């Protein structure tokens, strides 16, 4: 995607605007209430609860990426690169992502069988499986 990877895009989408502004532009935000901030340059742009909204323009977003694109008029790739370079970025690039062909060549190995299935049963019961039908979970296959 034009110089940025899917991994980088996914990571920068997680950066909220308040975190970005506090770490990269701390003088640009003003606290105006309990967990509510506004921008010094755009008085009607409010940041609260991980979201932001620009009241005078009737639009908002949930991330710093949205802000850089919609308010600062950056193109997508430059906005991603700006967030990658910012101190707010949690991105740690480890190794290149393997292609589908490389992954299909790796041999699939099942993990060792665990001695009980308590975690599986707990998972299913917490997602709406009827506890009265719990005996079916223990049925030998």
What per-residue confidence (pLDDT) applies to 135?
64
DSSP element (H, E) containing 85: helix 76-85
Check if the beta carbon of residue 93 is closer than 8 Å to that of residue 7: yes
Question: What CATH number corresponds to the domain at position 51?
Answer: 3.90.580.10
* Assigned domain for 113 exists: no
* Contact between residue 30 and residue 106 where contact means Cβ atoms under 8 Å apart: no
Q: 60 in a domain, yes or no?
A: yes
- pLDDT at residue 134 in the model: 61
What are the pLDDT tens digits along the chain (141 aa)? 567 888 888 888 888 888 888 888 888 888 888 888 988 888 888 988 888 899 988 888 888 889 999 988 999 988 888 888 876 555 444 445 555 566 666 777 777 777 777 777 777 777 777 767 666 655 554
CB 12 within 8 A of CB 84: yes
Domain assignment of residue 19, yes or no: yes
Structure confidence at residue 93 (pLDDT): 46
Would you say residue 46 lies in a domain? yes
> What domain count does the chain have?
1
**Residue 52: which domain range?**
6-85
Phi, psi of 33 (to 5 degrees): 175, -175
Domain-embedded: residue 120 = no
100, part of any domain: no
- Domain assignment present for residue 107? The answer is no
pTM of the model: 0.58
Identify the pLDDT of residue 2. 60
């Amino acid at each position: 995607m034009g110089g940025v990877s899917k991994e980088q895009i996914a990571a920068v989408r997680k950066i909220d605007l308040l975190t970005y502004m506090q770490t990269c532009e701390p003088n640009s935000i003003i606290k105006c209430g309990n967990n509510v901030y506004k921008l010094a340059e755009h008085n009607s742009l409010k940041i609260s609860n991980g979201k932001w909204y620009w009241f005078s323009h009737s639009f908002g977003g949930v991330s710093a990426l949205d802000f850089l694109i919609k308010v600062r008029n950056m193109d997508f790739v430059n906005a991603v690169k700006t967030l990658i370079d910012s101190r707010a970025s949690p991105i740690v690039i480890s190794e290149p992502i393997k292609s589908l062909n490389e992954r299909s060549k790796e041999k699939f190995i099942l993990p060792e069988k665990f001695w009980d299935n308590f975690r599986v049963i707990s998972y299913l019961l917490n997602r709406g499986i009827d506890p009265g039908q719990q005996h079916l979970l223990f049925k030998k296959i």
